[in-house]
Chain A
């Protein structure tokens, strides 16, 4: 269902690259009308700079191996903007490295989901019939499968680590992407240009790659952006069950989980990572929402 905003009415509902003659119209009114993309876009670039570049070039301490003598330093003290945690690690530094972990995990998960799920969905819709039937039932099983069982099983049998977190979360993203991609491909299948391609003897591989992919990709990318926030939140949730980034390596999820125990005494241990989690997720949501109203699909 397209959560179409009234401002987006001027835009064509069909896809950006559809060869049927529909072209993406830019919203009228110059750059002011683009603020819905520009503002979250700028914030996102700033956040990425903070998480990926600043720890390399700036005066940021190590996120782990803190000295217990420096434990529980108050916020706003010299060298520790947000103070230190109960084992003496600088919270600001843990926030930055944790942010890097969150973004890396969410990006990997969405990338795998987009490529794998996108391919599965397109193939299911293009071939139809028994292939579609079987692939969709497999996805139904994955969707109805309690994610927690899977996540815990991965944690127990493979041990908690960043790559296993990514693996566990891919079980959420792949079926979701596959459904979006299938629905988008189904809509394309009946379009005249597809028939034209088939009639002129284009091979299946080429049709999938050159005709379906470019038409489905904008929707999938928008869906990926909208899902970034969800994956970042889920990654944090996994920390509550012992999967997720294993401590002492920081992630916002394990920081919140560790702070939960001493919430009444030291609320900042929960509040600081929560605030960064919130801002980052909000940024991705705003950006995804703005792009969606451009394409008014997904």
Chain B
């Protein structure tokens, strides 16, 4: 074994990431093919004659065995071709490039806003555990964590769209049609996703800072050298705790994508979730496969990047010894 430890780690992680991606896409393929009707039947509707269905089936290559279709898809993907939609004849790549930005914008908006609030609130709460700020934060965040995001979304729509008429209830405005309407169109969905996240992250960050402040030697050292309580908290404990928070953020991105689907459907946003629903409904296998591949890749890459970040920042992991 030669090469730097970091490279070896990347190799090891990639070796486990690729089977996962392969497993996810294969499982999706099997699941969609096991559904009682296929794309030919779904696209032609109930009035189609068996002969018409059979013709379309042959045209779409649905009559070939499952394995050969999967491996020909896999071969195409490896050469960079995701195929075409059965329903619209659009390429899967163009569907993705149309739909994915909406979802990513929504996710980014929700994540940025929730993290911007999380850090100061968690620091204030951790400054005096069990103080007034801490108790209010902990209570509010517990309430927020117990609220389903679809419920939050509907309540926000009722207050801000129906009653106050400040923000649109549904629809998406392209950023090229005006940045302010674009932000307005994504605000309610982003709060619906971001508020529970804020509650979750704040509890996590607060607990982590408290753990650092109580047990770690470097905190004692910093205090002994005469750093004030705020300085110890913000300059010494916070950076360490932020690191843990970012890990959770990365690991959670996969779950977040699932959450986005339901929020997108409530707010009628043309994101990846709607495309996935439509494609499953049409048994549009190649589109489903393309979307699933992208989503699973996001999850796997997020985990990979987290692992590597850890290794970059913590030499113990880089050299194969577990941290703590």
Task: Give chain A's interface residues, CB within 8 Å of chain B.
Answer: 1-4, 6-7, 137-138, 140-141, 143-150, 152-153, 156-157, 229, 233, 236-237, 240-241, 256, 260, 263-264, 267, 270-271, 274, 277-278, 281-282, 285-286, 289
CB contacts under 8 Å to A, within B12-42, are 16, 19-21, 23-24, 27-28, 31-32, 34-36
Point out the residue from B23, B145, B292 that lies within 8 Å of A137, measured CB to CB. B23
Smallest Cβ-Cβ distance to B17: which chain A residue: A140
- Not counting A141-B24, A263-B162, A278-B151, a sample of 20 additional A-B residue pairs whose C-beta atoms are within 8 angstroms of each other reads A3-B203, A3-B207, A138-B23, A140-B23, A143-B254, A148-B261, A149-B276, A153-B34, A153-B280, A157-B35, A233-B148, A236-B148, A241-B262, A263-B154, A264-B162, A271-B155, A274-B151, A278-B148, A281-B147, A285-B146
Point out the residue from B130, B154, B295 that lies within 8 Å of A260, measured CB to CB. B154
Per the CB 8 Å criterion, the residue count for chain B at the interface is 53
* Binary CB contact string for chain B from 131 to 173 against chain A (1 if under 8 A, 0 otherwise): 0000000000011011110110011011000100000000000
Complex contact A157–B254 (CB within 8 A): no
**Cα distance, A178 to B49, chains bound together (Å):** 48
Q: Is B314 an interface residue (CB 8 A)?
A: no
Query: What residues of A have a CB within 8 angstroms of the CB of B23 in the complex?
Result: 137-138, 140-141
| Chain B interface mostly | helix
9 examples of A-B residue contacts, CB within 8 angstroms? A2-B207, A146-B276, A146-B296, A148-B276, A237-B148, A256-B154, A263-B162, A278-B146, A286-B142
Q: Is B204 an interface residue (CB 8 A)?
A: yes
Complex contact A260–B266 (CB within 8 A): yes
Query: What residues of B have a CB within 8 angstroms of the CB of A140 in the complex?
Result: 16, 20, 23
**Cα distance, A146 to B257, chains bound together (Å):** 8
> With A146-B258, A156-B35 as given contacts, are A1 and B207 in contact (CB-CB < 8 Å)?
yes
Complex contact A144–B207 (CB within 8 A): no
Q: Is B265 an interface residue (CB 8 A)?
A: yes
| Cβ distance B162 to chain A, nearest Cβ, rounded Å | 5
Complex contact A153–B254 (CB within 8 A): no
Complex contact A6–B129 (CB within 8 A): yes
| Cβ distance B115 to chain A, nearest Cβ, rounded Å | 18
Complex contact B296–A144 (CB within 8 A): yes
> With A1-B204, A3-B204 as given contacts, are A281 and B266 in contact (CB-CB < 8 Å)?
no
Query: What residues of B have a CB within 8 angstroms of the CB of A289 in the complex?
Result: 142
> With A1-B244, A145-B27, A145-B28 as given contacts, are A237 and B207 in contact (CB-CB < 8 Å)?
no
Smallest Cβ-Cβ distance to B261: which chain A residue: A148
Complex contact B204–A145 (CB within 8 A): no
* Binary CB contact string for chain B from 256 to 278 against chain A (1 if under 8 A, 0 otherwise): 01100110011000000100110
Complex contact B280–A149 (CB within 8 A): yes
Query: What residues of B have a CB within 8 angstroms of the CB of A233 in the complex?
Result: 148
Complex contact B207–A152 (CB within 8 A): no
Complex contact B151–A277 (CB within 8 A): yes
